[in-house]
Amino acid sequence: MYNFEFEKPTTVAEAVAALSSDEAQALGGGQTLLPTMKQRLAMPEKLVSLTGIADMKGVSASGGTLTIGGGTPHKTVADEATAYPALAALASNIGDPAVRNRGTIGGSLANNDPSACYPSAALASGATIVTNAREIAADDFFQGMFTTALDEGEIITAVKFPIPEKANYQKFEQPASRFALVGVYVAKYAEGVRVAVTGASEEGVFRWTEAEAALSSNFAVSALEGLSVPADGMIGDLHGTSEYRAHLVGVLTKRAVTAAA
């Protein structure tokens, strides 16, 4: 690890100010950034920790919306997002206990790892990403592997999830990392069903609109018969070919529907 400056502001405004300098990097729970720095693959001049900002922590529900502070660790979501059980269940199965106690929802979404769990929940729920500057719809937020709509120095302060009628997340773990080899999040709302897939695509998290249409008219496994995602554009690596990942998308979507129903 190279030397770096460290700041731990207590308000969002202070954090924004601290991040305005060049080569400053926001630090959430550090579950991706710190290992990267230890391997000398990242060398920020300044780290701005967001964990001291009380306003960015906590889980609350009102009016059919679950709001999670951007600096809230996965463990807290797992324990407190009782109004949205499928999301709590997803959070309870990210990484291991150490990761869940440190890693944050804002950090996960801002990083947008193509195999992370949270992006699928945000996209399938039609969540709103709240930053210090604006509100961004999930559909506009995820822009490909490790790429988001966030500007330099922009901080995710909260995420607002409309609470669905039914939802479920199915993760098929990559055997080594236990990240999602493929993860499928299905959420059913009065206005329709949304299906988001993580882990599979070279473009990062995506919506399987064909399945959404079928499930919106009939929320049953039978509605998915004959549907499949093309292997083209799916990730192929040591742990699974693109065909295998495409196949898993179908299997996991069915399982999510069964579990949610």
Partner 1 sequence: MPKDGGIGASTKRREDVRFLSGTGNYTDDINLHNQTYVHFLRSDVAHGRIKSIDTTVASAMPGVVRIFTGADFEGVGSVPCGWEITDRFGEKMQEPAHPVLAQGKVHHVGDQICAVVAETLEQARDAAEAIEVDIEELPAVVDMKKALEEGSPKVHDDLTSNLCFDWGFVEENKAAVEEAFQNAAHVTTLELVNNRLIANPMEPRVAVGDFNRGTGDHTLYTTSQNPHVIRLLMGAFVLGIPEHKLRVVAPDVGGGFGTKIFHYAEEAFCTFAAKAINRPVKWTSTRSEAFMSDAHGRDHVSTIQLALDADNNFTALRTDTYANMGAYLSTFAPSVPTWLHGTLMAGNYKTPLVYVNVKAVFTNTVPVDAYRGAGRPEATYQLERVVDKAALELGVDPVALRRQNFITEFPYQTPVAVEYDTGDYNATMDKLTQVADFAGFAARRAESEAKGKLRGFGVNCYIEACGIAPSNLVGQLGARAGLYESATVRVNATGGLTVMTGSHSHGQGHETAFPQVIADMIGIDASMIEIEHGDTDKAPMGMGTYGSRSLAVGGSAMVRATEKIINKAKKIAAHLMEASEGDVELKDGQFSVAGTDKSVAWGDVTLAAYVPHNYPLEDIEPGLEETAFYDPANFTYPSGAYCCEVEVDPETGKVTVERFAAADDFGNVVNPMIVSGQVHGGIAQGIGQALLEGAAYDENGQLLTGSYMDYAMPRASDLPFYTVDHSCQTPCTHNPLGVKGCGEAGAIGSPPAVVNAVIDALRSAGQDITHIDMPLSPARVWAAMNNA
d(CA 79, CA 31) in angstroms, rounded, equals 20
Strand partners, 101: none
Q: Can residue 54 be called a binding residue for partner 1 (CB under 8 A)?
A: no
Q: Tell me: does residue 244 bind partner 1 (CB under 8 A).
A: yes
CB 185 within 8 A of CB 196: yes
Question: What's the closest the beta carbon of residue 244 comes to partner 1, in angstroms?
Answer: 5
SS3 207: strand
**Cβ proximity to partner 1, 70 vs 107, nearer residue:** 107
How many residues sit in the footprint of partner 1 (CB under 8 A)? Answer: 18
194 close to 212: Cβ distance less than 8 angstroms: yes
Which stretch in 49-57, 135-143, 155-163, 234-242 sits in contact with partner 1 by CB under 8 A?
Answer: 234-242
Q: Where are the alpha helices (DSSP H) in 116-241?
A: 118-124, 138-141, 209-217
Q: How far is the CB of 238 from partner 1 (least distance, A)?
A: 6
CA pair distance 240, 113, nearest whole angstrom = 18
Q: Tell me the closest approach of the beta carbon of residue 216 to partner 1, in angstroms.
A: 24
Under rule CB under 8 A, residue 97 binds partner 1: no
Q: Work out whether 41 is an interface residue with partner 1 (CB under 8 A).
A: no
Give the residue, chosen from 151, 176, 191, 232, that forms a contact with partner 1 under the rule CB under 8 A.
176
Subset of residues 181 to 210 that bind partner 1, contact rule: CB under 8 A: 181
Contact predicate 261/223, CB 8 Å: no
The yes or no reply on residue 10 touching partner 1 (CB under 8 A) is no
List the one residue from 11, 21, 177, 218 that touches partner 1 (CB under 8 A): 177
Residue 143 engages partner 1 in binding (rule: CB under 8 A): no
Measure the CA–CA gap between 63 and 85, rounded to whole angstroms.
16
Does residue 169 belong to the site contacting partner 1 (CB under 8 A)?
no
Q: Is 98 a residue that touches partner 1 (CB under 8 A)?
A: no
Binding residue for partner 1, selected from 28, 29, 71, 240, defined by CB under 8 A: 240
Which residue shows structure tokens 């997340």? Answer: 169
- Candidates 133, 139, 183; CA nearest to 158 is 133
Question: Can you tell me which of 22, 62, 97, 175 binds partner 1, judged by CB under 8 A?
Answer: 175
- Residue 142 CA to residue 190 CA, distance in Å, equals 24
Kind and range of the H or E run holding 145 = none
**Mapping DSSP to helix (H, G, I), strand (E, B) and coil, where does residue 151 land?**
coil
Q: Which is nearer to partner 1, 63 or 230 (CB)?
A: 230
Site residues, partner 1 (CB under 8 A): 1, 39-40, 172, 175-177, 179, 181, 238-241, 243-244, 247-248, 251
